[in-house]
Every structure is written in C-alpha cells, then in structure tokens.
Amino acid sequence: MRALVAGAGGQLGRALQDCAPAGVTVIAPSEAEFDITDAATVARVIADSRVDVVFNAAAYTAVDKAEADAAPAQLINADAVALLAAYAPRLVHVSTDFVFDGAASRPYLPDATPNPISAYGATKLAGEIAAGPDALIVRTAWVYAAVGSNFVHTMLRLMRERLEVRVVADQIGTPTHVTGLARALWRLSVAGVSGVHHWTDAGVASWYDFAVAIQEDALAIGLLDQPVPVIPIRTQDYPAPAQRPAYSVLDKSSCWAITGPAAHWRTELRHCLAAIKDLQA
C-alpha cells in the first residue's frame, strides 16, 4: 500500500507516519509542497505519488477565530476536502465532535443528526459532506500529543507559570492521545472501511478532570516540581467567541468492533507525559 498524508507536519500527520504498518510506503509532503486548497497541486501530487489512499490530517482548528472570519476554515475544512475527494483513489478524512450541539445526555452514535453550534463545527460538517459516501470519515475529540500545541502542553506551561489554574468543568468529552487515533485510522483503512465512524480513547472527563490528571501524573514523573490549585469554573466564567458542545462524548462501539477497544484516556495520558519527559531529557 502507498499512502499520502495531507497535513503531514501536524500532530496527527506525524503520528500517522510513526504508526504506519509494515510494508506501507508513506508519502508525507510539506504544506508548501502539497497545498490542498489548489486543485492543480492536489491533482499533480496525488497522480505523481501513485498512492492507494490519501489521509487528510490537515485542518483549520482556530475555533474562536473562525467566528469572526469563517472563510479560512471553510477553505481548509470543506473546500479542500472536496478537492481531495475528487482526486484521491480513496480518502480517509478526520472530523470532530464539534459537528454536534452538545445537548445530548448519552454518547453520540455515528448516525446521530449533526447540529454544529460554531462556525468551525459547521465547516467540519461541510467537510464530511464534501468527502462523500465512499470516504472513511472518523470523528474524534480533544486530541493531544507529545509534540505540538495542545491542551496538555498548555496546562504544563500554565502550571509552571501561575499560582493557580482555572479550568472549565461543565464541558464533558473524552481526551484522545493522537497515537491511538493514528493506529485506529490505519486499522480502519487497511480493513477497507468506509462511512462515518467515531474514535476516541475510552472514558469520560471534563476539561477540569483532564487538567487535574495532567498535574497529578506530571508531578509523579517529575515534569512538574510542585502542585498549584486547579480551580473548576463554568463555561460562562470563561467567555469565548465560539460556543462549545457541553456534552460531546462519542459512541465508539461500532468502530471498536473493527479496531479493538481503545485504552482509557488516563492510561494514554501517562504514555504521552512519559514521551514528553523523554523528549526533554
């Protein structure tokens, strides 16, 4: 199998390269080499690469900025997906829990009706539609990695710099270590799966729970020198331009029947923190 990764420099793109199965050739062009918003470039790179599958790990993720100017998000999250779908022999596209409104009280099934409440969520839903029925579309949530900009690194920095950290406690979802997500994408692709599926790590947490766990586990391995108070707050106490789903737990049962179940998010967090410590050594 030959696979092309769009967004190869991002945290998911790097994880897809690191987790590629034996015997798979991965082509991972830079953003400058593979501008997914340019039709001629998309057609040329895919044709020249002679690939069997294209993984779209590229995304516009500036959720709040999209509220004031959704055009860049629409271009990358939707219009570019239509180009990839037009030229890719097979497309694996990654989407988000933000396609839901968060009004549910039980995990969202893959066939639940989307209802995004932010411009970012609307562009990601448009991307799913653009990917088409033959694509493999995998929704995920709260993704983090040992490298890059994400919630884990933000919390570690704030816990070193501040006397206390205030974190929203009334938004519920599931943290997802990018390594498990990348492995799941490979398994689903190799299995020839298409349609909409959900993948996150196992378990449920609020952002506050996630932050508390980050501090506890970072202290245990020496990534942090001393604890600071982690204060739970309400969403309304931390106003932001974009609305977030209050509850965005995804039902992964149909996906896990193919890939096997994910590890609990707390276990994956420990793996990630250990990797961060190794990188700092």
- List the structure tokens of 52: 């069997």
- Each residue's pLDDT tens digit in the chain (281 positions)? 999 999 999 999 999 999 999 999 999 999 999 999 999 999 999 999 999 999 999 999 999 999 999 999 999 999 999 999 999 999 999 999 999 999 999 999 999 999 999 999 999 999 999 999 999 999 999 999 999 999 999 999 999 999 999 999 999 999 999 999 999 999 999 999 999 999 999 999 999 999 999 999 999 999 999 999 999 999 999 889 999 999 999 999 999 999 999 999 999 999 999 999 999 87
Distance CA 201, CA 272 (A): 13
pLDDT of residue 116: 98
Distance CA 21, CA 108 (A): 30
Query: Distance between terminal CA atoms of the chain?
Result: 36
Q: Are strands 205-206 and 172-173 parallel, antiparallel or unpaired?
A: antiparallel
DSSP H helical ranges for the chain:
11-18, 39-49, 65-68, 71-74, 80-87, 119-131, 151-161, 178-190, 207-220, 253-259, 265-280
Distance CA 227, CA 26 (A): 42
Indicate which residues carry an active-site annotation.
Answer: 120
pLDDT of residue 189: 96
pLDDT of residue 281: 78
Name the CATH topology of 2-280: Rossmann fold (3.40.50)
Contact (CB, 8 A) for 255 and 194: no
- 123's CB contacts (< 8 A; 6+ apart) are 60, 66, 70, 73, 74, 76, 77, 78
Residue 59's closest CA among 114, 128, 147, 108? 128
- 3-state DSSP of 162-175: CCCEEEECCCEECC
pLDDT of residue 212: 98
pLDDT of residue 207: 98
Helix or strand run (H / E) with residue 55: strand 53-56
Distance CA 272, CA 276 (A): 6
